[in-house]
Amino acid sequence: MTPQQYVEQKAAASGSSFYYAFLFLPPERRAAITAFYAFCREVDDVVDEVHDPSVAAAKLAWWRREVQQAFAGQPSHPAMQALIPLAPTYGISADHLDQVIQGCEMDLSQTRYLDYAGLQRYCHLVAGVVGEVACNIFGRTQEATVRYAHTLGLALQLTNIIRDVGDDARRGRIYLPIEDLQRFDVKAHELLKRESPWGYSDRFQALMRFQAERAHRCYDEALALLPEVDRKAQKPGLMMANIYHDLLREIERGGFQVLHQRISLTPLRKLWIAARTQWRGR
């Protein structure tokens, strides 16, 4: 299996919504974003699949060394072998990848966030930096497009957090800021137990509506930041925005039933949203 085949298989097997946006890119840009996504998937899987924190930390340390060696011309992992030849063309640096690793390391040491500012720092590393790299690969001419990408990354990550409240609780993690839990009188132990009837209490519903409204504002802010001159090139990002925004609305329509299940859109629906965005250009 070639490195490119490896990253393509990694992207397709993930079932991620990102995969559907990649399909509409020209071959070289698609190869670059697929390789970058495969790297992100590799380091994220370390946190989600390795249950011993010390082992996970060692694996992330290995990835940090691999990034440095790869940018020095000696990649050993197929994801890096696929990415390195394309990195200079699209302005992908070792620092970009290191920041993604930093975000994953936060998951090993931090399972709570005191306030929204702290959560934003985490989102910057695991989503904002990813958005910046992606917008460079898609093509941009304006610096404002980078600000759009960071804000869109925040919106996507906030949607992930809303969708994954139950899954994260199973791992002992709560990404909803403590200040928000206190504001709506939702106790951490209630989220961690994921039980009815109080699991879906009026307090929980109010908390989740507050989170959704914050995410909606981020989507609106991101789209307002995108310069018109870069809108055509940034269609894959707009596809992601539309897919995730639709997912957020689906969660809202279902009454935020996220403690006992992981709500998702069907592959056909994701493909339709991506194709519709390609046709409409927004």
Cβ atoms of residues 168 and 160 within 8 Å: no
pLDDT of residue 20: 77
What does the pLDDT look like over 214-229, one tens digit per residue?
A: 999 999 999 999 999 9
Which helix (H) or strand (E) segment holds residue 237: the answer is helix 235-253
Instruction: Identify whether the C-beta of residue 254 lies closer than 8 Å to the C-beta of residue 247.
Output: no
Question: How confident is residue 120, by pLDDT bands cut at 50, 70 and 90?
Answer: very high
Model pLDDT for residues 210-269, shown as the tens digit of each residue: 999 999 999 999 999 999 999 999 999 999 999 999 999 999 999 999 998 899 999 899
The closest of 168, 152, 140 to 262, measured between CA atoms, is 168
Residue 250 burial (10 A CB sphere; 0-12, 13-18, 19+) = middle
Q: How far is CA 31 from the centre of its chain?
A: 19
Instruction: For residue range 154-173, list pLDDT tens digits in order.
Output: 999 999 999 999 999 998 99
pLDDT for position 157: 97
pLDDT at site 197? 56
Percent above pLDDT 90 for the chain: 78
CA nearest neighbour of 242 among 277, 278, 279, 280: 277
**Which 3 state secondary structure label does DSSP give 194?**
coil
The full set of domain ranges for the chain reads: 1-109, 141-281
List the structure tokens of 277.
């965005």
In CATH, what is the architecture of 1-109?
A: Orthogonal Bundle (1.10)
CATH top class, domain 141-281:
mainly alpha
Amino acid residing at 265: L
For every residue of 241-279, DSSP letters joined together read HHHHHHHHHHHHHTTS--SS------HHHHHHHHHHHHH
Same fold, 1-109 and 141-281: yes
